[in-house]
Chains A and B, each alone.
Chain A
């Protein structure tokens, strides 16, 4: 167990680093798309370090104080429940803790904690941002569930290892090729999950500047930042396991995560923002209809 914890620690550190790095890369990509020079890919490390060194001077209350801890815990916990490299004793993390259902529900843990802390700050933009985020979540959850439950029914398992194991053998066994329509639904839902641009409702700089973390600063903010990065990596890993056949070693994981990372980043770069209700209606229509196409095949498979 001690070794397990040690490897988990290493794994989390790697995830933090990679998450911050990808954040920097995304800023660079966006800058280039907008014909700016942009910051260095390591800018996020600099930012987090700077924030971390500054001591937070004020607090609005207990929940406000606890929220960064919740946020970190939510990110790290989700990451640790998902096997990065399936079968590896080091990098399958604590995936014995629960199956995909546990992961899906635990994902909200950190967000809810942060939302409560942000709400206690008393700033109106915080709860507005939170409610927008939750509404958005209900939006993208439908196509995401369509995709995930389709895969689970098709392979008759809900454990992540089981889902990865079903995709082994050849690249054509990856779910993205086996169930392309489910994958489309899943990847469209992913845009909402990452708050990428047509669905960027929570932070929405022009409307509710910064949104939930408005009142946070300095070290508190650095925790939030880190937690968010790790949660981002966790979700990439989840998508990798669900659609891209998982990973057999660290390098494969890194590459696949990077490829996944490009999808919301590029979409962010070229789209304007929806209004919230437009976003929800989008999620509840096109991705769902597309995803349902694959259900016909799953039905046939189940009957036969």
Chain B
């Protein structure tokens, strides 16, 4: 163990020695510098390691000069201090390494001196136990920082440094004044001593003013709103390496000092202070960043926002309002927020530096062209945006679980801010993936790579700590499965190998996981794995169009879904839910024009995820913050249920959350759309079922909620069907159709009767089968023709007869016409609705299913019938795997159409075993005939009857017409003319123009418009508001005074 004084001392001496060392050459100076850095790192590292391993149990107290406190100055090194100091030195080393790598243009010796000084100041700040000494270290840090900011020597950075000097001086004045007055009141400068001398009743007198002065000085350095204009200017104009050390290291030091001061001064309004400044800073910075077009200033806003969040978390930690578990969680949250922010933000600044990014437009195409840049940039962007498994995700989860219910508004604001953060970070990622024509290879340093690798280590650590603290146990197989996809991602095997591996992995999972199909989780797990295997198998021919990461992300999506259904508490469900959202976002984004669609998808998914997280907070009891399924819910279940159901509704894309569905389905890679529609949307169904079973019964007016959900399902089915009718792209038709079909399932869930659940489960499987077949079929068509745009297709029955057959069968099932399986779901649902006397919902649902005939016909006609285009005269039938996949599914619809009891036997058992429901309200007569209390349906008879009569009629017909001549497609009775081209007689565009004239007013994009106007107005509001940062130092000083006035008014005079 190294004496902490040595670290400060050697760094200080080294800083000034560098100037001398230069006499022996720059290389020597650099060498000295690195030796000092290495010493410091090892020194602090050993202390931190000691604390972590438990070899050092007590805080290290070093008395300087042998004088005992309170007379002498002493250093006090605990685990937090050594943690922050290590972070400062580590990020300092990485930053300066990056700076050297980029070719430091500034006068090197001076810069290095300043660099060592700032590191020393930051370390001293967190080590010292003396308030005046603290002021000295703050001054050293600030002065070094002024110099470093100015070292770039251009107009902007000099101006920023000047502003920093002005505002920093104000801050120092307050800190100094505070220290002096503290001495006056307590007669001591030693922190521990003061802490003992301060009594709560002192705050009723003038002492409040003293405490506030000290804290206010630190607040300025902590860049709280509105006193942070200077910080943003620095972020924008200083050298990114300087910014990295300031934002990543020094700011964390100030943060620790701030929290310590809170604690030592026994400040009575800790939480109020933290809420007022932390929360405001956080939410306002995140929103200001939305409109920011300078990428460095945008990162600056994000850093300021993170600091605000940290202040908030610290306030909660120190406030004593948390349970003991909550305090532990909050501490973890703070740690991981700090780590995550330090490493990802410095990476982002380094990348901005090495790729010379100024405006956000500069990022266009960078990640598309370079895989390594893509990896580095996306890792740090996603970890900032709070994606699992990065540390930011775990930190957020820890924090939200810890905050008590009465501060629900804080949770709401944190999550709203997180969504804003996600919006702008993913916008950056989207830009970086767009085409811009340049294929410049970017420069990136080893420092960036190290940062990102550390980011992953922290991520693993965060996940491990989360599991350890919450006691959540997840199925052991799932990490193995994630491992497989990680291996595939890292090694980037050939597509064929990846394809084989993924199919094997999915099948392996099916056997390894030991799931039982007659339980609800098992039912869905089989849907995911068996369905996923079919889809993955069938879409192989498209794989050469995919990026190398396609299969690994698809596997993560599939296995996350398995995690969702196998979860036994809401937190596990949430974790896997987010993993599913993010991994599917990454897959959807691989479509050719899917950038914006995937962005909207992820924003909506994140909103849903955060709804769920907020709901989980309401569900968690004080003793145990992880709400298990089998625990009895608390008060406030109504809002928890509403919020959690909201998440599932967003995933189902019911109205009014449907806006993501069209483009996400339409633009996602053809190989993924079947999974998206057939399996992923069913996770909303699964969630809906468990919410209705677990939570809704504990809500007072559950009938009203369920009835409302029923209407939501019916209206979704109706409006999505109408929207589907008017789409001109086959994938978009099927997208809206999928959403509409999920609407039917939602009706079934909302009935909450045995028959309703049966209908929902039955239709879940059915919809997977026929929609899967349709999307796979479309993939084959897109593979051969290169388009799914309906007016460009036509007459393909002649070229792709087997695809047509599978498509036809699936469409008949989709339309719900007996004797195929689609009808079974409808019959069950309608019977259930009739039994519950929800007649108007029934009317709307049946009308919607009639309207579905319109788009069913449209698809068949516009793709397969009518006139074959000249350019499609020579295309081949779809490739074999695609054909096999869709024919298999088409045959399944016929089998289940004839024998619905195959499926019903399973759903009945699921009801009895998992949902504690009685046997559904129907009976089998002779296995095939299903009788409810009000009606009956004989599927086997219908199939035999239809097939038999069809065969008889066809044979008679065939015998009767032995000689028939097959004519060309243009041989039609066309008013005596001979049509010239297929296009002139093909009817394929705006096929329902007349229908649009009748009901078009119902499908005006009102909801889309609402979202757009909402977003645009937020942007214009923040654009107006951020003008408070005029860039003028007078204004900045004025905001400091305004803030001080507010603080004094609130905390001293008690205005509010």
Residues of A within 8 A of B (CB): 55-63, 65-66, 68-70, 72-73, 76-77, 80, 94, 96-102, 104-106, 108-109, 112, 115-116, 119-124, 127-128, 130-132, 134-135, 137-139, 141-142, 145-146, 149-150, 152-153, 156-159, 162, 214-215, 219, 223, 275-281, 284, 295, 302
List the A side residues contacting B960 at CB < 8 Å: 55, 219
A158:B986 contact, CB within 8 angstroms: no
Binary A-proximity of B967-1001 (CB < 8 A = 1, otherwise 0): 10111111000000010011100011011011100
Within B797-835, the residues touching A (CB, 8 Å) are 797-798, 801, 808, 812, 815-818, 823, 826-827, 830-831, 834
Identify which of B8-16, B410-418, B593-601, B861-869 touches chain A.
B861-869
Interface residues of B (CB under 8 A from A): 795, 797-798, 801, 808, 812, 815-818, 823, 826-827, 830-831, 834, 837, 839, 842-843, 846-847, 850-851, 853-854, 856-858, 860-861, 865-867, 929, 934-938, 941-942, 945-946, 949-950, 953-954, 957, 960-961, 963-967, 969-974, 982, 985-987, 991-992, 994-995, 997-999
On chain B, the residues within 8 Å of A135 by CB distance are: 854, 992, 994-995, 998
Q: Is the interface of A mostly helix, strand, loop or mixed?
A: helix
A56-B961, A101-B831 known; A116-B865 Cβ under 8 A: yes
Q: Do residues B937 and A277 form an inter-chain contact, with CB atoms below 8 A?
A: no
Write the chain B residue with the least CB distance to A214. Answer: B973
Q: Are A159 and B934 in contact (CB-based, < 8 A)?
A: yes
- Could you list 5 examples of A-B contacts with CB < 8 Å? A60-B967, A112-B856, A122-B985, A131-B994, A142-B847
CA–CA, A60 and B865, complex, Å: 10
Q: Which of B797, B817, B929, B995 contacts A112 (CB 8 A)?
A: B817
Q: How far is the CB of A236 from chain B (nearest CB, A)?
A: 21
In the complex, what residue of chain A is closest to B996 when comparing beta carbons?
A277
CB distance from A16 to the nearest CB of B (A): 13
Q: How far is the CB of A284 from chain B (nearest CB, A)?
A: 8
Closest chain A residue, CB of each to CB of B830: A101
User: Which residues does chain B contribute within 8 Å of A60, judged by CB atoms?
Assistant: 966-967, 969, 971-972
Q: Tell me if B850 and A127 are in contact (CB < 8 A).
A: no
A120 touches B826 (CB 8 A): no
Residue of A70, A145, A157, A223 contacting most chain B CB atoms (<10 Å): A145
Q: Which of A68, A105, A139 has a CB less than 8 Å from the CB of B818?
A: A105
A122 close to B969 (CB less than 8 A): yes
A158 touches B934 (CB 8 A): yes
Pair A223/B957 contact, Cβ less than 8 Å: yes
Query: A142 to chain B: closest CB distance in Å?
Result: 5
Residue of A nearest to B805 (CB): A62
CB contacts (< 8 Å) of A59 on chain B: these are 964-967
Q: A105-B826, A280-B998 are in contact. Are A150 and B839 (CB under 8 A)?
A: yes
Residue of A nearest to B970 (CB): A122
> Which of A65, A98, A119 sits near B964, CB closer than 8 Å?
A65
Q: Nearest chain A CB to B936's CB is how many angstroms away?
A: 6
Known: A99-B936, A157-B934. A121 touches B851 (CB 8 A): no
Q: Are A119 and B860 in contact (CB under 8 A)?
A: yes
Chain B's closest residue to A277 (CB) is B998
Q: How far is A288 from B568 in the complex, measured between Cα atoms in Å?
A: 48
Evaluate whether A102 and B997 lie within 8 angstroms (CB atoms) in the complex, with A122-B972, A153-B839 already known.
no
Does the CB pair B997–A63 fall under 8 Å?
no
State whether A94 touches B941 (Cβ < 8 A).
yes
Q: State whether B831 touches A72 (Cβ < 8 A).
A: no
Q: How far is the CA of A57 from the CA of B962 in the complex (A)?
A: 10
Q: How far is the CA of A205 from the CA of B834 in the complex (A)?
A: 41
The 4 closest A-B pairs by CB, nearest first: A99-B935, A277-B998, A119-B865, A158-B935
**Across the interface, which residues of B come within 8 angstroms of A162, CB to CB?**
934
Given that A112-B857, A131-B992 are contacting pairs, would A120 and B797 also be in contact in the complex, using a CB cutoff of 8 Å? Answer: yes
Cα(A150)–Cα(B842), bound, Å: 10
> Quick check: B957 and A68 within 8 Å, CB to CB?
yes
Are A55 and B963 also in contact (CB < 8 A) when A131-B995, A149-B839, A152-B834 are?
A: yes
Please measure, in the bound complex, the distance between the C-alpha atom of A130 and the C-alpha atom of B839, giving whole angstroms.
30
Is there an interface contact between B830 and A127, defined as CB atoms closer than 8 Å?
Answer: no
Residues of B within 8 A of A57 (CB): 963-965
Q: Are A102 and B818 in contact (CB under 8 A)?
A: yes
CB-nearest residue of chain A to B986: A124
**Chain A contacts of B986 at CB under 8 A?**
122, 124
CB of A222, distance to nearest CB on chain B (Å): 10
Q: Which of B827, B831, B936 has the most CB of A within 10 A?
A: B936
Cα distance A51–B450 in the bound complex, in angstroms: 84
In the assembled complex, the Cα of A104 lies from the Cα of B830 at a distance in Å of 12
How far is A145 from B945 in the complex, measured between Cα atoms in Å?
A: 26
- Interchain CB contact under 8 A, A73 and B817: no
What's the Cα separation between A122 and B987 when bound, in Å?
Answer: 9
Residue in B815, B827, B866, B963 whose CB lies within 8 Å of A102 = B827
- Contact of B865 with A101 in the complex, beta carbons under 8 Å: no
- Distance of A219 Cα from B959 Cα, bound (Å): 12
Cβ–Cβ contact B846 & A134, under 8 A? no
A145 CA to B826 CA, complexed, in Å: 15
The docked-state distance in angstroms from the alpha carbon of A157 to that of B931 is 12
Say whether B834 contacts A119, CB under 8 Å. no
Q: Which residues of B contact A109 (CB under 8 A)?
A: 817-818, 946
Q: In chain A, what residue has the closest Cβ to B861?
A: A119
Min distance, Cβ B221 to any Cβ of chain A, angstroms: 67
Nearest chain B CB to A136's CB is how many angstroms away?
9
User: Out of A63, A76, A101, A134, which one reaches B853, CB within 8 Å?
Assistant: A134
- How many angstroms from the CA of A104 to the CA of B974 in the assembled complex? 36
Provide the bound-state CA to CA distance between A65 and B962, in Å: 12
Find chain A residues with CB under 8 A from B946 CB. Answer: 73, 77, 109
Contact assessment for B954 and A69 in the assembled complex, using a CB-CB cutoff below 8 Å: yes
Question: Is B817 in contact with A106, judged by CB distance below 8 angstroms?
Answer: yes
Cβ–Cβ < 8 Å partners of A104 in chain B:
846
Residues of A close to B982: CB separation below 8 A: 122
- A102→B831 CA distance, assembly (Å): 11
* B936 surroundings in chain A (CB, below 8 A): 96, 98-99, 159
Tell me the minimal C-beta distance from B315 to chain A in angstroms: 56
Q: Which residues of B contact A276 (CB under 8 A)?
A: 994-995, 997-998
Contact A62/B801 with A97-B938, A101-B935, A141-B846 known, Cβ cut-off 8 Å? yes
A149 to B991, CA, bound (A): 31
Cβ of B966 and Cβ of A58 under 8 Å apart? yes
- Residues in A whose Cβ lies below 8 Å from that of B971: 58, 60
Residue numbers in B under 8 Å from A130 (CB-CB): 857, 861
Whether B797 contacts A96 by the Cβ 8 Å rule is no
Are A120 and B973 closer than 8 Å at their CB atoms?
no
Beyond contacts A153-B837, A302-B837: 12 other A-B pairs, Cβ-Cβ < 8 A, are A66-B954, A76-B949, A96-B941, A97-B941, A101-B826, A116-B860, A122-B970, A131-B995, A145-B847, A152-B934, A276-B994, A295-B839
Which of chain B's residues has its CB closest to A57's CB? B965
| Interface contact A69-B953, CB-CB below 8 Å | yes
Q: Is the CB of A77 within 8 A of B831?
A: no
Give the chain A neighbours of B945 by CB distance below 8 A. Answer: 77, 80, 94, 97
Given A56-B964, A158-B834, A158-B934, also A73-B953 (CB < 8 A): yes
**Nearest-Cβ distance from residue B829 to partner chain A, whole angstroms:** 10
CA distance A150 to B970 in the complex (A): 49
Min CB–CB distance B623 → chain A (angstroms): 46
Contacts of A156 in B (CB 8 A): 934
Q: How far is the CB of A174 from chain B (nearest CB, A)?
A: 21
User: Residue of B at shortest CB range from A220?
Assistant: B961
Complex Cα spacing A128 to B966, Å: 23
Contacts of A72 in B (CB 8 A): 953
Query: With A131-B995, A142-B843 given, is the CB distance from A63 to B865 under 8 Å?
Result: yes
CB distance from B828 to the nearest CB of A (A): 10
The minimal Cβ–Cβ distance linking B873 to chain A, given in whole angstroms, is: 14
Contact B995 A105 (CB under 8 A): no
Contacts A65-B964, A109-B818; A100 near B935 (Cβ below 8 A): yes
Most interface-central of A112, A122, A279, A295 (chain B CB within 10 A): A122
Which residue of chain A has the shortest Cβ distance to B972 in the bound complex? A123
Give bound CA distance, A279 to B865, whole Å.
Answer: 28
Query: How far apart are the CA atoms of A280 and B999 in the complex, in Å?
Result: 8
